[in-house]
Chain A
Amino acid sequence: MLEIRWHSRAGQGAVTGAKGLADVVSRTGKFVQAFAFYGSAKRGAAMTAYNRVDDEVILNHEKFMHPDYVLVIDPGLTYTADITAHEKDSTKYIITTHLSKDELIAGQPKLKGKDVYVVDCMQISLDTIGRAIPNTPMLGALMKVSGMFELDYFQDAMKSVLSKFPQKIIDANMAAIERAYNSVK
């Protein structure tokens, strides 16, 4: 069982990102879950979303997990949310920031010694999509770090997930995924 936790602000697309990832993964015959914690969520409120992936039907409905990957798509949440909650020794962190990895860890010492990757999903989405929607670039970064799918395969699958959108938006998302894939460190 592969488990992923997203840290996001409501409106940044973590739920859409988690569902998009689930959709792509399901096409390979695997079983998936994508869900989120909602309260009476207001735009901008800190929230978490989750993915589970397994070769068998997923019966587990508890919200609790020890994540294999923690994806932080809002830079501020690295400092204000409990992003290391219920971590494992092997948990990998992919964090949206304009800082270098060393600068980030200096500012948030609890990430010291952990498997941390950085990528600037905010800037990438502003440059490509034209809005601060950091979800699809984060998926590009996840593909690189996890090796889950080749970039080409993932982009093709995402094209069909996004097929209801205009071509311009699909192209922008493809560019965002590719740039994050190539720039995550």
Chain B
Amino acid sequence: MAEKMELNEVEVWDGNMAASQALRQAQVDVVAAYPITPSTPIVQNYSSFLANGYIDGEFVMVESEHAAMSGCVGAAAAGGRVATATSSQGFALMAEVLYQASGMRLPIVLTVVNRALAAPLNVNGDHSDMYLGRDSGWIQLDAFNSQQAYDLTLMAFRIGEDHSIRLPVMVHQDGFITSHTAENVKPMSDDEAYAFVGEYKPMNAMLDLAKPVTYGVQTEEDWHFEHKARQHADLMTKVFGKVEEVFEAFEEKTGRKYNIVEEYMMDDAEVAIVALGTTVETAEMVAKMMREEGIKAGVVSPRLFRPWPYEQVKKALSKVKAVACLDRSSPNGALGALYNEVTASLYQGDNRPVITNYIYGLGGRDFTIDHAKEIFKELDANAKEGRPTTPLQQFVGLRGPKLSFY
């Protein structure tokens, strides 16, 4: 029996430690992993917990991220609680198996420490890998700080493993800015955390020999479409309610409130930034500063990136006059993903604000208070004019002459 770890009421943990502690407390049966910067410490901490007697489960060291996710698929199909961690190139190598996991409806938890994709090689944080996963059929939750990385990892098990959901869940955090920044984190005790996550209840376990099942079958034009449609329908209809239910249960336990779409000062906001990751907190701080300058600024941030919270985003932005969608990933020949999703969400609504797109922070480029101020000022001008006063897509924090399109 694993030993319990004594934790302080307030720990100073970086996002990696927060995620690895959540995995430990969830009493995962199998972690199959191949470490990669900046998520390495998640599995490194986890293996040291195991070596020190704090974990009963299996830790399988494999030869690649493809094998890591394959091991997770096997263990999950066998009937165990399963998790792993990755970033960037490792995430890209897992991509094939990500679709296998979700298609087989295996509730694996993947803690993703977001990092840029090569080339050029870069170990720092942007959202390229998170965006790469957005059509993979996983549920994607996004943490903006270390506390949230801890909280959401615990909640991910309860969301994905529910028998009405049975889908894998990614919990994202920003590489280095969250993963390697030590901050105040309030953990639950081991007993409280495990009681919240709950005992794993297998469904169609391959190791249940009394009831033989198969995973990973072939279906051609006869049934493939029906399987994919059912998965999509569950993502579109069942996940939101379950996420809300788990968020509410978590608030009851800890007092920490989560929403599918987080809103900051949106009651009377006229202009809003929509963003993901740590940028949300920086933007919130700046929104408050802008109010002292007379600009009614707010921030909207999807806590749930997939399934995309279409209705919640529409509602959150139902009163604003101008919106900036901030994408931390190169769209490589398109407008940014957040821009496209937000614009689609608002197009069917009654409110039609001016919407512009900013590309920023690639490869860990700093997103500063001054950048956020500049964006809010441009939004203010857009709101007053009722049309874009800037190009539709602008690059922020880029060296050299200003780059913009449309």
Partner of A62, one of B14, B184, B367: B367
Q: How many residues of B contact A (CB 8 A)?
A: 22
**Interface 9-mer from A4-12, A30-38, A139-147:** A30-38
Q: Are B182 and A61 in contact (CB under 8 A)?
A: no
Q: How many residues of A contact B (CB 8 A)?
A: 22
Q: Does B368 contact A (CB under 8 A)?
A: yes
Partner of A38, one of B10, B123, B184: B123
Write the B363-395 contact mask toward A (1 if CB under 8 angstroms, else 0).
Answer: 000111100000000000000000000000000
Which residues of chain A from 50 to 82 have any CB-CB distance to chain B below 8 Å in the complex?
Answer: 58-64
Expressed in whole angstroms, the Cα–Cα distance for A23 and B282 within the complex equals 23
Q: Are A59 and B285 in contact (CB under 8 A)?
A: yes
Chain A residues with CB under 8 Å of B177's CB are 35, 61
Q: Does A168 contact B (CB under 8 A)?
A: no
Q: A19-B12, A22-B12, A35-B177 are in contact. Are A62 and B183 (CB under 8 A)?
A: no
Q: Are A39 and B366 in contact (CB under 8 A)?
A: no
Q: A32-B184, A34-B181, A64-B368 are in contact. Are A59 and B12 (CB under 8 A)?
A: no
Q: A35-B177, A35-B182, A38-B176 are in contact. Are A26 and B366 (CB under 8 A)?
A: no
Q: Are B123 and A22 in contact (CB under 8 A)?
A: no
Q: Are A26 and B123 in contact (CB under 8 A)?
A: no
Chain A residues with CB under 8 Å of B367's CB are 61-62
Q: Are A58 and B183 in contact (CB under 8 A)?
A: yes
From B10, B182, B184, residue with most partner A Cβ within 10 Å: B182
CB-nearest residue of chain A to B282: A61
Chain A residues with CB under 8 Å of B70's CB are none
Q: Does A43 contact B (CB under 8 A)?
A: no
Partner of A33, one of B183, B279, B282, B284: B183
CB-nearest residue of chain B to A19: B182
Chain A residues with CB under 8 Å of B184's CB are 26, 31-32
Chain A residues with CB under 8 Å of B180's CB are 35-36, 38
Expressed in whole angstroms, the Cα–Cα distance for A61 and B285 within the complex equals 10
Chain B residues with CB under 8 Å of A23's CB are 12, 182
Q: Are B176 and A35 in contact (CB under 8 A)?
A: yes
Chain B residues with CB under 8 Å of A59's CB are 281-282, 284-285
Expressed in whole angstroms, the Cα–Cα distance for A62 and B370 within the complex equals 10
Partner of A61, one of B10, B12, B123, B278: B278
Partner of A63, one of B10, B123, B174, B366: B366
CB-nearest residue of chain B to A18: B182
CB-nearest residue of chain B to A160: B8
Which residues of chain B from 173 to 228 have any CB-CB distance to chain A below 8 Å in the complex?
Answer: 174, 176-177, 180-184
Chain A residues with CB under 8 Å of B123's CB are 38-40
User: Within the complex, what minimum Cβ distance (angstroms) separates A62 from chain B?
Assistant: 4
Expressed in whole angstroms, the Cα–Cα distance for A63 and B183 within the complex equals 15
Expressed in whole angstroms, the Cα–Cα distance for A171 and B14 within the complex equals 27
Q: Are B182 and A33 in contact (CB under 8 A)?
A: yes
User: Within the complex, what minimum Cβ distance (angstroms) separates B263 from chain A?
Assistant: 15
Q: Are B182 and A62 in contact (CB under 8 A)?
A: no
Closest 3 CB pairs of A and B: A35-B181, A61-B278, A59-B281
**Chain B contact residues, CB within 8 Å of chain A:** 10, 12, 14, 123, 174, 176-177, 180-184, 278-279, 281-282, 284-285, 366-369
Q: A34-B182, A35-B176 are in contact. List 20 more A-B contacts (CB 8 A).
A: A18-B182, A23-B12, A31-B183, A31-B184, A32-B184, A35-B14, A35-B181, A35-B182, A36-B180, A38-B123, A38-B180, A59-B285, A60-B282, A60-B285, A60-B369, A61-B177, A61-B282, A62-B366, A62-B367, A62-B369
